[in-house]
Chain A
C-alpha cells in the first residue's frame, strides 16, 4: 500500500474492482455518485454495476433484494444521503431482515463530517455516527487514512454482515506508515501517554495529533487513540489501555452530546467501570450556512485546533493538577 496519501474512496474502490474480477458474486450499486476509479468498475463489470439514479431509498431496496439472494453488495453514495434519506429502508430491509436472512452489505458513505467544505450543511454530515450506531447488526467503520480504509476491506468481503463505512472526501495524511491497524481490534493506540488520552475518529484523529502536540509543549504527554470501528471494537483491549489514564478527550466531526463518539465512549466507560473524567470535542449542535475552509469552519463550531485547545487546556489542568502557567 502506497505511503503517499491517497483518497480513501479510490483505495477502497480499487480493492472492490480487483475483487470483482475474481468474484462474480459482488454487485456495486451507486446512487448516481462516481469517482475516477469507479469508471473502471462501470466499464469492466457493466452487469454488476448499477446506477439507480438519485434514489437512495431504491438504492437500499435493490441492495436488500440482491443481498438476500446471496450477492455481496457495495452501495455507494454521499454520506448524509446514504444514511438519512433512506434510514427506514436500512432499518427494515437490512438491519431487521438480517436477523433472519443472512446478508453481506457494505454501505459506503463519502463525505464524513465537513469534507464537502463548500457544499454546505446538506452535504456535510454530523449525525451519521449517531443514527447508524443506533441500528443493531450494523458495524460503523470510520477510518482516518487510506491505509486503514484498505485494511478494513478484507472483512467486508470475507464475512457476512452489515457495515457502514464513513469515508472522508478529502485526501488525509497517512497515520500508519509502519505498523498497520488491526481491524479486529477496532482501535489503535498511536501514542502512549500519561494521565490524559485523546480518543478520536476519522478526520479528527489528525486534529487530535495536532492538539496533543500543543498540549505536550506544556510538559504533558497525552496518549492518542484512533478508533475506527465504533461499534465492534475490542472492549477488553480498550479497557486495558484506558485503565492507566485518569481522563479522556473524545474528538469527532459530528454533533457533541448527541449520541455520537462521545456518547459511545461515555457508555463504554460506565459499562467498563473505568474511573475517567471526560471531555467531548464535537460540533456545537446547530446548523450553519457560513463558508470557509474546513479549518475555519471547524474553529467556528468548536472542533478546530484553537477552539478545542480552549476547552482541552483547562480540562487537562484540572484533571492533572499540574498544568504549567503559560
Chain B
C-alpha cells in the first residue's frame, strides 16, 4: 500500500484543525452540546471522510453504492456536523442553528441528519445494527463496507459483546469497528469504573483482527483504515484508537469529568482568536 504523501497529510491536518475550530465554535453557540467527547474523535472522522477510506455520496446519502458509517457514539460526534456540511451533505449555514428551534442539528445527532444512518443517542446500539447491515451487504454480495465508530465507555453495554461474538462467527470481514478509546466516560476514567485496558486482547480473543493506533496520528489512522478495508481475512476488524478526551482545550483535556464540563466562553474565544499553529500537532 502507498504511504501517505506529505501533501495529503497536510491536507488532512488542515481539515482536522478546521473541524476542531468549528466544533469549538458550535459549542460556543450551543453549550448544550457535549464538547470533550467530540474533540477526541476528530482525526478518526477526518481520516474516514477525507482520507479516501469511506465511500459516500453527499448528494444521495442513502445511495446503495456507499459504505455505511454508523456513528454510535452519539453525544460525542458534534464534530461530524462541520464535516458533513463541508462535504455537502447539508449547507454550512446550518452550523449556526445547532440546538435551535426548527434545526435538524440537535445536541445529540439523530438520523434526520443527512449522513447519519441510525439512532445513536442511546449508547451501545450502533455496533449491533452495523453487524446486521454487514450481514445484509454480504448476503447482497455487495462490495461496500460497514464502518462503526464507538466510544470505549459504551462498550460497557453488553449488547456490543453479543454483536462482537456474532460478527466473528459469521466472518463479517466487511465490518470495521473504530473505537475512540479516550478512556473516560461521563463520571470517571473507565479504568476506575470497568477497565478497558486490555481491549486488544479481548477483541482478538473474540476472533477479531485488531490493531492499536495513536488516534491523533492522522496518518496512522488513515493507513489502518485503508489497510483493514483492503484485507479480506474472514475476520471483523477493529482499530483501537488511543485518544485524549477534550483534546486541545486547557482544563478539559483528559479531565475525569470532562464529558460534562463546559469551558468558559472567554476561553473558547481566546483559543479561537489566538490559533495560529495547530494545537493538535506534535503533542
Contacts and interface: CB of A to CB of B under 8 A. Distances in A.
Contact of A92 (B117, B119, B135): B119
B129 A61 contact: yes
Contact of A68 (B112, B133, B163, B165): B133
A57 interface: yes
Contacts of A96: 119
A107 B95 CA distance: 39
Q: Which of A69, A71, A93: most chain B Cβ within 10 A?
A: A69
B111 interface: yes
Contact of A62 (B122, B128, B158): B128
A69 B136 contact: yes
B166 A97 contact: no
Contacts of A100: 111-112
Interface of B: 111-112, 117-119, 121-122, 125, 127-137, 139-140, 158-159, 162-163, 165-166
A88 B132 contact: no
Interface stretch (A48-56, A194-202, A226-234, A309-317): A48-56
Interface in A25-84: 47-48, 50, 52-53, 55, 57-58, 60-71
Nearest to B127: A61
B122 A88 contact: yes
B84 to A, nearest CB: 16
A89 interface: yes
Contact of A55 (B112, B132, B162): B162
A210 interface: no
A158 to B, nearest CB: 21
The bracket for how many chain A residues form the interface is 20 to 34
Given A89-B159, A92-B119, A101-B111, A61 B136 contact: no
A61 B128 contact: yes
Given A58-B163, A61-B128, A89-B125, A97 B133 contact: no
Given A50-B135, A55-B166, A65 B128 contact: yes
B128 A66 contact: no
B162 A57 contact: yes
A65 B139 contact: no
Contacts of A64: 118, 128-129, 132
B125 A62 contact: no
A55 B119 CA distance: 20
Given A89-B128, A92-B119, A93-B129, A65 B134 contact: yes
A65 B111 contact: no
Given A88-B122, A93-B119, A101-B111, A69 B128 contact: no
